[in-house]
Amino acid sequence: MTLEEKVGQLFVMRVYGHSATAPDQADIDANMAEIGVRTAAEMIGKYHVGGIIYFAWAHNTRDPHQIADLSNGIQRAGLAGPTPLPLLVSTDQEHGIVCRVGEPATLMPGAMALGAGGSRSDARRAGQIAGAELAAIGINQNYAPDADVNVNPANPVIGVRSFGSDPQSVAAMVAAQVKGYQSSRIASTAKHFPGHGDTSTDSHTGLPVINHTREQWAELDEPPFRAAIAAGIDSIMTAHIVVPALDPAEDPATLSHPILTGILREELGYDGVVVTDSLGMEGVRTKYGDDRVPVLALKAGVDQLLNPPSLDVSWNAVLAAVKSGEISEARIDESILRILRLKTKLGLFDNPFVSHSGVDRTVGTRAHLAAADRIAERTTTLLANDGAVLPLSRRSHKNLLVVGADPASPSGTTGPPTTTLATAFGELGYAATALSTGTAPARAKIDEAVAAARGKDAVVVATYNVSATSSQRTLVSALAATGVPVITVAIRNPYDIAQLAGTGFAANLATYSWTDVELRAAARVIAGRAEPRGTLPVPVQRADDPARVLHPVGYGLTY
């Protein structure tokens, strides 16, 4: 390999378009503006990139056959170079609130939902199914599972992407998911090292500082990553966070030699691929320029440089650093060998291509969808059931109104939550009407919901990150004042129940996400077609006294 090819292999880059060679004109324009090439094939030919990451917003993931064709086109471009090299094709398919590939692929419950289910077997099965479907469409590296321990309820970026707040429980679930994904011959990625769970700052928009002592880090943050390594994890993603106890220089972990080499490589003994979180995120760009970030990341111990804001700037900066001697070619070779070993392990040098028939045999099969439904039922958590209003009898609660928040779909393909719930109730024999009231309902919308509730036997309200000042509280109070039983369903964070205290709701459930599979499961639980089996994987503090716990880890009601 030439030096230019070696440098290219270190990069994993976004690219617009549904095709590697013939994207739509708008995507060609976007590629020219951001990357200076027209297509994925041109980018591979010019920069010799070692990987490409798929995004729905980049129009990479329209449908399974299209994704398979795009993957094949990317691999053909890689093998057409002077040194034929297959590519690592990656995406963030965590499931739950982070999905890039939507239906008809099987969408599984997310991490916190699986944590609520508490079954390692379910976690492993979910990973195995998800991995098999990704492999069938040519995606061979998944940036999952999230190994962060979410001990901060105010965490704006992790939250339900974590399996929970108990380090040992999270470690067990991470190991199970790693084994599940990698049993399907795709690379799994534990993220975000050294642990992004205790922050109130989003590293997409700022640089979080985590003030855990070294002892606290070892107790809270380290166990899931140690478990992932013991399970044979193929890759680990870095975090754009500062942990002063781990690196007094207060560099972001992505750029920290003491953290990535000193702790991850030397203390934990990890010799797999280390990939950065996106280099376009503000957390890694606050202290150094875009030309220095990739160089410092490599010097810290990184192997793959993910999605820099300018590939040309970053690629040339690394090339110049090697030519000047700031980074030795031997150091680059260490990373290249790790990347090539991973590609070899995944069989990409033998056959990197996929087929439409393989897609049809694997993606969204009846067996996979049924497994997702069963797993989701075991995650739904019942937190309140005053007067045993649940399960709802079709005799006494035939006519339902479903109102509430309708956030954008995680995968871009599933239906609005209120519509999904109403449809699910209709399939269970209820008469259900949907009315979207949003995450911040105005007075007129609340009045409309109250009017619609009259004559109904029960109202189901989908709540989304309720705060002390949220008008979602007003909505629930106004509906409860009609005398119609109100069932609230927290479709993201389970903490909503604390903020809804005193509003008069009759029952509360947590689904941990608003994907169809979890909402359908919630409908079956409400209707008594399934038992609520989930328990809280995080504590819920009281809203009026956060020092006191309203519901502890492990809390959950049954029928």
- Residue 409 pLDDT class (50, 70, 90 cuts): confident
Q: Are 204 and 329 in the same domain?
A: yes
Range of the domain at 421: 378-551
Q: List Cβ neighbours of 213 (8 Å cut-off, separation of 6 or more).
A: 245
Q: Are 346 and 382 in the same domain?
A: no
Q: Are 451 and 336 in the same domain?
A: no
Which has more confidence, 115 or 81?
Answer: 115
CB-based contact 54:61 (threshold 8 Å): yes
Q: What percent of the chain is predicted at pLDDT more than 90? A: 94
Q: Are 291 and 158 in the same domain?
A: yes
Choosing from 321, 355, 389, the residue where a domain stops is 355
Choosing from 355, 386, 414, the residue where a domain stops is 355
Query: 413 pLDDT exceeds 80?
Result: no
Query: 33 pLDDT exceeds 80?
Result: yes
Query: 8 pLDDT exceeds 90?
Result: yes
76 lies in some domain: no
- Residue 410 pLDDT class (50, 70, 90 cuts): confident
The pLDDT mean for the chain works out to 96
293 lies in some domain: yes
Tell me the average pLDDT across 171-183: 98
Q: Are 333 and 394 in the same domain?
A: no
Q: What pLDDT score was predicted for residue 88?
A: 98
User: Model pTM?
Assistant: 0.95
- For the chain, the domain total comes to 2
- Residue 273 pLDDT class (50, 70, 90 cuts): very high
Q: What pLDDT score was predicted for residue 154?
A: 87
H helices, E strands: number in the chain: 20, 16
End-to-end CA distance of the chain: 64
AA letter at 104: P
- Residue bearing tokens 């503000």: 282
CATH of the domain at 540: 3.40.50.1700
pLDDT in tens, 320-332: 999 999 999 999 9
Q: What pLDDT score was predicted for residue 408?
A: 87
Q: What pLDDT score was predicted for residue 222?
A: 98
Query: 238 pLDDT exceeds 80?
Result: yes
Query: 168 pLDDT exceeds 80?
Result: yes
277 lies in some domain: yes
CATH of the domain at 140: 3.20.20.300
Q: Are 383 and 476 in the same domain?
A: yes
Query: 201 pLDDT exceeds 90?
Result: no
Cα–Cα nearest to 462, from 518, 522, 418, 520: 418
Query: 270 pLDDT exceeds 80?
Result: yes
Q: Are 258 and 116 in the same domain?
A: yes
Q: What pLDDT score was predicted for residue 155?
A: 87
Tell me the average pLDDT across 18-38: 98
Tell me the average pLDDT across 79-100: 96
Q: What pLDDT score was predicted for residue 463?
A: 98
68 lies in some domain: no
Q: What pLDDT score was predicted for residue 505?
A: 97
- Residue 452 pLDDT class (50, 70, 90 cuts): very high
d(C-alpha 29, C-alpha 78), whole Å = 22
Just list the catalytic residues. Answer: 204, 277
Q: Which residues of 455-489 are buried (b: 16+ CB within 10 A; e: fewer)?
A: ebbbbbbbbbbbeeebbbbebbbbbbebebbbbbb
d(C-alpha 58, C-alpha 29), whole Å = 12
Q: What pLDDT score was predicted for residue 514?
A: 95
CB-based contact 148:159 (threshold 8 Å): no
- Residue 264 pLDDT class (50, 70, 90 cuts): very high
Q: Are 260 and 323 in the same domain?
A: yes
Q: What pLDDT score was predicted for residue 412?
A: 72
Q: Are 345 and 382 in the same domain?
A: no
532 lies in some domain: yes
pLDDT in tens, 35-79: 999 999 999 999 999 999 999 999 999 999 999 999 999 999 999
Q: Are 328 and 477 in the same domain?
A: no
57 lies in some domain: no
Choosing from 340, 355, 370, the residue where a domain stops is 355
Q: List Cβ neighbours of 336 (8 Å cut-off, separation of 6 or more).
A: 1, 6, 9, 10
Q: Are 307 and 448 in the same domain?
A: no
Q: List Cβ neighbours of 388 (8 Å cut-off, separation of 6 or more).
A: none
69 lies in some domain: no
Cross-strand bridge partners of residue 486:
459
Q: Are 315 and 409 in the same domain?
A: no
Q: List Cβ neighbours of 217 (8 Å cut-off, separation of 6 or more).
A: 194, 195, 243, 245, 246
523 lies in some domain: yes
